[in-house]
């Protein structure tokens, strides 16, 4: 197998930048994860988007924050901004178990070795950058920034913390999946709009002094949350905030949120509508090598990459609305699905990988069986504030047909190099239970038969979560009887 040229990856060393003939960069990304050039890895997606918009970009993966900060200086001062992310997982989840024990491995580091990123990585990286380059703007994104955008409970320190914009000193925060706001930021900067004027881009947040007028956008209503200080005094104020944040993260026409923090006000602009098929295809069809950067060749495999290297993600979003889950706060409840063409193109790429043995490990998404699902009447969904489309009952407006998924599975199966394509993501089995799903049609049985007979390795991955109906209700999950029903249906095959 012929080796790819190093320029097929985005540059992560000074030498690679010089090989491209660049003397300076427009954007430098600092990331808590190793650089794997694959659409499942945030730093690759963001880097490829910036590249596709015509900018010169370099990545500093897992910089050493404990020495003389040479990693933060090696790419030089970027012309536009630094982009900072703690990685695909919140660094605290990455570092500690729920019992607060230190983990011994890190799935996003070569060899699975722990210790290559700090606790609260986004804030640590930003403070270093502000120390070295105080006048260069910083944009933060990724799961840590996204889920800590407003006053939040930090399990590890057991306290309410203010927006991460306060603790990090960053200039702008992008929440959720970053493609749309990032493209708009780049488009405006290209036109010469000053960074400090980027105040009405959807899906971004920032701080400004309380004395300043709110930026004008006539289409947005503003909902004022209880301040950080009120939340510290009153748990109910915090809980009420949480409800607003959840609702506004999952609306088609959402409101702008504001929250006082000391002398500042946090402004969270409403999110973009869910990505269209063309927009999500554009992101997945970028020229990824689908491999870790060759610099890691001698440091061992990257566990998170090993897990997904032969898998294909078909959609984003989840309308389950489970109360303990962060997907709705990050990706939202509306499903953005890739086209069949884009998915099959990626399947073809996977089959071309030198060590592909004929097995696709996952045709999936946040919940495997939500591909292409949406409301029957969109105008009803446009006004909806429900956190879940399937709890406590399946919404009568939800089209739960599994037909497009089944057809696509069959097309993947028909690929001459695919021996088996597994569905490794969790399946929402309640959608498949006739007595629970009043919208059921023939496509459900057809899907179940297709999955059970052709796409599982003997174990169907489901998530019943609990056996107590009272607890399940609090979790916004289906009663356990639905699980018994689906077990009965599986035995039939
Ligand atoms: S109307 Fe029904 S299908 Fe549409 S978003 Fe609301 S719960 Fe989901």
Phi then psi dihedrals of residue 154, to 5 deg: -100, 110
**How many angstroms separate the CA atoms of 190 and 407, rounded?**
42
Q: Parallel, antiparallel, or unpaired for β 359-360 and 152-154?
A: unpaired
* Nearest Cα residue to atom 1 of ligand 1: 381
Mean of pLDDT values over 188-195: 97
Q: Are residues 29 and 111 in the same domain?
A: yes
- Please say if the pLDDT value at position 490 is more than 80: no
Question: Considering the domain boundaries, does residue 484 fall inside one?
Answer: yes
The total domain count for the chain is 2
Residues 82 and 197 in one domain: yes
Q: What phi and psi, each to the nearest 5 degrees, are found at residue 422? A: -85, 155
Q: How much is the pLDDT for 67?
A: 93
pLDDT higher than 80, residue 493: no
Task: Tell me, rounded to whole angstroms, the distance of Cα 136 from its chain centroid.
Answer: 26
Say if 291 falls within a structural domain: no
The answer to whether residue 279 is domain-embedded is no
Q: What span, in angstroms and rounded, lies between the C-alpha atoms of 420 and 418?
A: 6
430 CA → ligand 1 middle, Å: 16
CATH number, domain of 446, equals 3.30.750.210
Indicate whether 277 belongs to any domain.
no
Instruction: Categorize the per-residue pLDDT at 459 as very low, low, confident or very high, splitting at 50, 70 and 90.
Output: confident
**For 314-322, what is the mean pLDDT?**
95
Q: Report CA(424)–ligand 1 centroid distance (Å).
A: 26
User: Residue 319 pLDDT > 70, yes or no?
Assistant: yes
pLDDT of amino acid 465:
80
| Contacts for 154-157: CB closer than 8 Å, 24+ residues apart | 154/92, 155/92, 156/92, 156/96, 156/100, 156/119
Atom of ligand 1 nearest to the CA of 398: 3
Dihedral angle sign, alpha carbons of residues 273, 279, 281, 282: negative
Radius of gyration for the chain, computed over Cα atoms and rounded to the nearest angstrom: 23
Across 38-65, average pLDDT: 98
Residue 401: the pLDDT is: 96
Dist. CA 405–CA 402, nearest whole Å: 5
In the predicted model, what is the mean pLDDT of the chain?
95
pLDDT at 302: 97
Residue 159 · residue 92 · CB < 8 Å: no
CA 397 to ligand 1 centroid distance, Å: 6
pLDDT band at 329 (very low <50, low <70, confident <90, very high): confident
Residue pair 322/478 in contact (Cβ under 8 Å)? The answer is no
Handedness of CA 52, 53, 55, 58 (dihedral sign): negative
Share of the chain above pLDDT 90, in %: 89
Copy the structure tokens of residue 235. 């748990």
Check whether residue 263 and residue 368 sit in a common domain: no
- Residue 139 domain-assigned (yes or no): yes
Q: Does 295 have pLDDT greater than 70?
A: yes
Question: In what helix (H) or strand (E) does residue 147 lie, and over which residues does it extend?
Answer: helix 143-147
* Beta-ladder partners of 36: 292
Q: What residues contact 30, with CB distance under 8 A and at least 6 apart?
A: 60, 63, 72, 82, 83, 84, 85, 125, 129
In a shared domain, residues 341 and 249: no
Residue 59 lies in a domain: yes
- Which ligand 1 atom is the nearest neighbour of the CA of 319? 8
Report the alpha-carbon distance of residue 54 to residue 32 in Å, rounded: 25
Extract the tokens encoding 284: 């997945």
The CA distance from 123 to 110, in Å, is 23
Residue 45 and residue 186 in one domain: yes
Q: What span, in angstroms and rounded, lies between the C-alpha atoms of 399 and 441?
A: 10
Q: How far is CA 407 from the centre of its chain?
A: 27
- Among 268, 289, 320, the domain-final residue is 268
Same domain? For 131 and 263 the reply is: yes
- For 187, the 3-state DSSP assignment is helix
285 in a structural domain? no
Helix extents (H) in 268-383: 277-284, 303-308, 327-330, 340-351, 378-382
17 in the same domain as 131: yes
- 204 and 328 housed in the same domain: no
How far does residue 281's CA lie from ligand 1's centre (Å)? 24
C-alpha to C-alpha distances, 173 to 40, 221, 308, 431, nearest whole angstrom: 21, 20, 28, 36
* Residue 476 CB burial class (10 angstroms; 0-12, 13-18, ≥19): middle
Structure tokens at 398: 């939800």
How many whole angstroms separate alpha carbon 8 and alpha carbon 292?
11
263 and 315 both lie in a single domain: no
Residue 135: CATH number of its domain: 3.40.50.280
Give pLDDT tens digits for 142-159: 999 999 999 999 999 999
Confidence (pLDDT) at 178: 95
- Percent of the chain scored above 70 by pLDDT? 99
Does the pLDDT of residue 94 top 90, yes or no? yes
Which atom of ligand 1 lies nearest, measured to the CA of 380?
A: 1
298 domain residue, yes or no? no
Domain interval for residue 354: 310-492
- 198-226 pLDDT per residue, tens: 999 999 999 999 999 999 999 999 999 99
Q: Which ligand 1 atom sits closest to the C-alpha of 381? A: 4
SS3 of 438-478: the string is CCCCHHHHHHHHHHHHHCCCCCCCECCCCCCHHHHHHCCCC
353 and 204 together in one domain? no
Choose one of 268, 302, 328: the last residue of a domain. 268
Q: Are 145 and 85 in contact (CB under 8 A)?
A: yes
Q: Tell me the pLDDT band of 410, cut-offs 50, 70 and 90.
A: very high
Of 217, 248, 268, the residue that ends a domain is: 268
- pLDDT of amino acid 492: 66
Whether 305 shows a pLDDT value over 90: the answer reads: yes
- Whether the CB-CB separation of 12 and 293 falls below 8 Å is answered with yes
226 with 356, same domain: the answer is no
Q: What is the pLDDT of residue 2?
A: 65
Own/partner pairs, 159-164, CB within 8 angstroms, 24+ separation? 160/228, 160/231, 160/232, 160/238, 162/228, 162/261, 162/266, 163/205, 163/207, 163/228, 163/259, 163/261, 163/266, 164/122, 164/123, 164/140
DSSP secondary structure of 364-384:
E-SSGGGTT-EESSHHHHHT-
The pLDDT of 453-479, averaged and rounded, is 87
pLDDT of residue 122: 98
Residue whose pair of structure tokens reads 């488009």 in the numeric block: 187
pLDDT for 270 equals: 97
Residues with CB under 6 A from ligand 1: 319, 375, 380-381, 384, 386, 389, 395, 397-398
- Residue 3: per-residue pLDDT: 82
> Atom 5, ligand 1: which residue's CA is nearest?
381
Pair (390, 340) in one structural domain: yes
CA–centroid distance, 375 to ligand 1, in Å, is: 6
Residue-wise pLDDT for 415-429, tens only, equals 999 999 999 999 998
What's the predicted TM-score (pTM) here? 0.95
pLDDT in tens, 102-131: 999 999 999 999 999 999 999 999 999 999
Look up residue 55 and give its two tokens: 């900018």
Classify 260 as helix, strand or coil: strand
- Per-residue pLDDT band at 483 (split at 50, 70, 90): confident
Place of tokens 């996952």: 362
Predicted confidence (pLDDT) at residue 484 exceeds the cutoff of 90: no
Residue 321 C-alpha to ligand 1 middle, in angstroms?
A: 11
Give pLDDT, residue 463: 77
**Rounded mean pLDDT, 373-383:** 96
> Predicted confidence band at 1 (pLDDT cuts at 50, 70, 90)?
low
Identify any residues that bridge with 61 across adjacent strands, giving them in sequence order.
31
Question: According to the model, what pLDDT value does residue 328 have?
Answer: 78
Instruction: Give the span between the Cα atoms of 191 and 198, in whole angstroms.
Output: 12
Max distance between CA atoms of the chain, in angstroms, equals 67
């Amino acid at each position: 197998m012929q080796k790819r040229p190093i320029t097929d990856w985005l540059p992560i060393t000074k030498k690679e930048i010089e090989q491209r003939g660049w003397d300076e960069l427009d954007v430098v990304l600092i990331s808590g994860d190793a650089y794997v050039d694959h659409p499942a890895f945030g730093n690759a997606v963001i880097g490829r988007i910036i590249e596709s918009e015509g900018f010169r970009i370099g990545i500093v993966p897992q910089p050493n924050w404990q020495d003389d900060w040479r990693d933060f200086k090696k790419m030089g001062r970027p012309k536009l901004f630094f982009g900072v992310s703690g990685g695909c997982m919140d660094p605290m989840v990455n570092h500690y178990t729920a019992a607060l024990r230190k983990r011994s491995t890190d799935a996003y580091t070569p060899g699975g070795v722990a210790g290559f990123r700090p606790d609260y990585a986004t804030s640590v990286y930003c403070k270093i950058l502000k120390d070295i380059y105080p006048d260069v703007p910083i944009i933060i994104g990724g799961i840590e920034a996204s889920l800590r955008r407003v006053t939040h409970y930090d399990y590890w320190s057991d306290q309410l913390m203010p927006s991460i914009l306060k603790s990090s000193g960053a200039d702008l925060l992008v929440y959720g999946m970053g493609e749309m706001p990032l493209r708009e930021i780049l488009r405006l900067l290209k036109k010469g709009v000053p960074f400090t004027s980027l105040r009405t881009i959807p899906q971004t947040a920032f701080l400004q002094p309380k004395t300043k007028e709110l930026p004008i956008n006539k289409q947005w209503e503003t909902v004022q949350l209880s301040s950080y200080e009120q939340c510290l005094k009153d748990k109910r104020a915090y809980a009420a905030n949480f409800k607003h944040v959840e609702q506004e993260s999952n609306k088609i026409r959402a409101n702008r949120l504001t929250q006082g923090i000391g002398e500042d006000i946090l402004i969270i602009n409403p999110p973009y509508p869910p990505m269209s098929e063309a927009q999500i295809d554009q992101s997945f069809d970028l020229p990824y090598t689908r491999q870790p950067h060759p610099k890691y060749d001698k440091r061992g495999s990257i566990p998170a990459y090993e897990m997904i290297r032969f898998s294909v993600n078909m959609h984003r979003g989840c309308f389950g609305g489970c109360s303990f889950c962060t997907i709705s706060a990050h990706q939202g409840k509306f499903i953005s699905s890739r086209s069949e063409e884009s998915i099959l193109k990626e399947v073809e790429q996977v089959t071309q990988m030198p060590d592909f043995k004929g097995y696709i490990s996952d045709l999936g998404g946040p919940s495997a069986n939500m591909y292409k699902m949406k409301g029957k009447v969109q105008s009803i969904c446009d006004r909806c504030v429900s956190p879940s489309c399937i709890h406590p009952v399946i919404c009568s407006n939800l089209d739960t047909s599994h037909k497009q998924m089944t057809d696509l599975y069959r097309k993947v199966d028909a690929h001459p190099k695919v021996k088996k394509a597994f569905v490794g993501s969790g399946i929402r089995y309640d959608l498949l239970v006739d007595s629970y799903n009043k919208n059921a049609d023939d496509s459900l049985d057809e899907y179940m038969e297709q999955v059970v007979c052709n796409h599982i390795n003997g174990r169907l991955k489901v998530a019943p979560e609990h056996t107590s109906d009272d607890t399940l209700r609090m979790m916004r999950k289906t009663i356990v009887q639905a699980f018994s029903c689906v077990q009965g249906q599986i035995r039939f095959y």
